Amino acid sequence: MERTPRMIRNAAVARQTAAESMVLLKNVNNTLPLVPAGDEPLPVAVFGVGQIRTVKGGTGSGEVNSVGNLNILDGLSQCAALAPDELLARKYRTWCLEHKDRTKGNFLLPTVHHNEEMPLADVDLPALAGTCAAAILVISRTAGEGADMQYEPGTLALTEEETAMIRAVCAAFDKTVLVLNTPGYVELADVLPGLSAAIFIGLPGQEGGAALADVLTGAVPPSGHLSDTWPIRYADYANAAYYGGGPSNGIQHKGMFGLQEQINVSYADDIYVGYRYFDTFGLAVQFPFGYGLTYGAPALAECAMGYAGGRVTVTARVENASEAYPCREVVQVYLSLPQGRLEQPYAKLAAFQKTGTLEPGGAQTVTLEFDLADLAGYDEQGAAYVLEAGYYDVRVGFSSRDTQVAGSVYLPKDVTTLKLSNRIADRVKQQLQKIGLTPEEWGGDIVCCEGSGKSGQGVENLLEMMLLQADVMELAANPDRRANGYVIESELEQGFGPTATMLVTGGTLKVGDAILVGEYFGKIRSLIDDCGRRIKSAGPATPVKCTGLSGVPEAGAEFRVMLDEKRARTLAEDA
């Protein structure tokens, strides 16, 4: 199909956008850019089926219609500065013709995220290394709507075939460039040390092959930066154990075509999402948030900040110290908040701006601004966004771990930037009222205390109100009887067997008591209090962990002390 002028203009925009978003991850000894020594194009060997089956966009809505998809091999072949080895390219084209593209399956079936790699048994690597100046290896993945990747070979991890290909090529060539045509992170710890360069191109759209050629040859200096932290190992992610691939915790989710499915949803990160987790706790990473290399030598020559009317202004002068290559850089501003009553991460991204192209010896001053209130912390108890009193350090750099303090803002007292209301608490009160339990503040007699078990806010007030209510209602329990109560939580612990944390509501629970807990029984071997101390007995209103049960009871199960273990066993077996 002949392209219209509008299509041509749009293709140029797509090419430029893709090139400017590509992230140079590694570049040893100026492996890149690939520049011919003379007038002849630079011979290169391109490996990996992703050079032909380049993924331009994700699945589902990401698989939009386009005029075409210029794959990596065609993009490099059309570049006047490069000459991919034709025999090797022919082998890969033949392989792809003879082997189905597994990522293009039936949308009703589970998505296959990668394609099988072509074996290199028939490829003379030493001969190629003798005629080609560099090797380019392409790893491709697809993902998207209804097709998230889990951690397994061929998704977030390399397959054995991919690892073997990379190691074999690295052993034969002096210059090796890994191209990651993937939606995001891939675990590279086992192969990265052997590579001389690596570049993350993401899912680059219809002009991805041409855009990559622009970056590899230096026609466009790389200037993309990572929008997330890349850990050394996938397991280093704080939520690695909770991501959707884990066992279901019973959350109902409406999937494709309205079908109900159970998924694992566990938001355990709290405020420590992404780089806030890695940077706050000082964990080693492969590449930090905001990371990205370029060909020149950018440096922050000057930094200054000002504060007026609640707005922070930062000026930064970036200089290119290289004598050979131009560069572009992304200036990033982070804010470190005072560690007061509210928990805060080490730093939060406040602003960023990309420079123009800086020629060798060139420089540019950029100005960035942000409202301090936009980074206020949330006070759960007060239902408000608050800037706590203290020093706010403004950091400037090229990634979350490459910053310097440009200045500080001091607030002498707390400032509430936005007052809200605890709507969840109000909704709970409405639900209580519907079943006849009217809160005191709404004219009833039910005491309601708002608080957070996670942050501890409001817990002290809750305990005071519980003691007050107990006195007013003259609540009491008889400690001189066989104990009963409820299971709070239970688990199977190594070295202890089944354990249950229980709350005694009546009587006194003692070591040696025969106990019935739902469908399980046992004889109490040990009691451990909330401080981890072994105790001999636990009276009313006392939480205690016990061992000696025949199984792991459910949370909420009622327990009773029986006359003897035989009676407990009989009732348990009949349950």
pLDDT digits (tens, 9 = 90+) for 500-545: 999 999 999 999 999 999 889 999 999 999 888 999 999 998 899 9
Instruction: Determine if residue 142 is left, alpha or beta; phi over 0 gives left, psi from -120 to 50 gives alpha, anything else beta.
Output: beta
Strand partners, 546: 500, 527
**For residue 146, pLDDT beyond 80:** no
pLDDT (0 to 100) of residue 124: 97
For 170-200, the pLDDT digits (tens) are 999 999 999 999 999 999 999 999 999 999 9
pLDDT (0 to 100) of residue 262: 54
Coil, strand or helix at 128: helix
- Residue bearing the bigger pLDDT, 249 or 567: 567
Could you tell me what percent of the chain has a pLDDT over 90? 71
Helix (H) or strand (E) holding 395: strand 390-399
Q: How far apart are CA 240 and CA 268, in angstroms?
A: 10
Q: How far apart are CA 557 and CA 552, in angstroms?
A: 11
- Residue bearing the bigger pLDDT, 65 or 178: 178
Which pair of structure tokens corresponds to residue 557? 């199960």
pTM reported for the whole predicted model:
0.77
Which pair of structure tokens corresponds to residue 559? 């327990």
**For residue 556, pLDDT beyond 70:** yes
Coil, strand or helix at 168: helix
Coil, strand or helix at 256: helix
Instruction: Determine if residue 138 is left, alpha or beta; phi over 0 gives left, psi from -120 to 50 gives alpha, anything else beta.
Output: beta
Beta strands in 207-297 (DSSP E): 230-231, 251-254, 260-263, 285-287
pLDDT (0 to 100) of residue 85: 98
Q: How far apart are CA 325 and CA 219, in angstroms?
A: 10
DSSP H helices, 114-220, are 125-131, 160-172, 208-216
Mean pLDDT score across all residues of the chain: 91
Under the banding of pLDDT at 50, 70 and 90, the label for residue 264 is low
Q: How far apart are CA 180 and CA 401, in angstroms?
A: 23
Mention every residue, 6+ apart, whose C-beta is less than 8 A from residue 508. 479, 480, 481, 483, 537, 538, 539, 540
Q: Are 70 and 53 a contacting pair, CB within 8 Å?
A: no
Q: Are 521 and 487 a contacting pair, CB within 8 Å?
A: no
For 379-408, the pLDDT digits (tens) are 988 889 999 999 999 999 999 999 999 999
**For residue 562, pLDDT beyond 60:** yes
Identify the top-confidence range among 92-106, 214-228, 376-390: 214-228
pLDDT (0 to 100) of residue 217: 98
**For residue 255, pLDDT beyond 90:** no
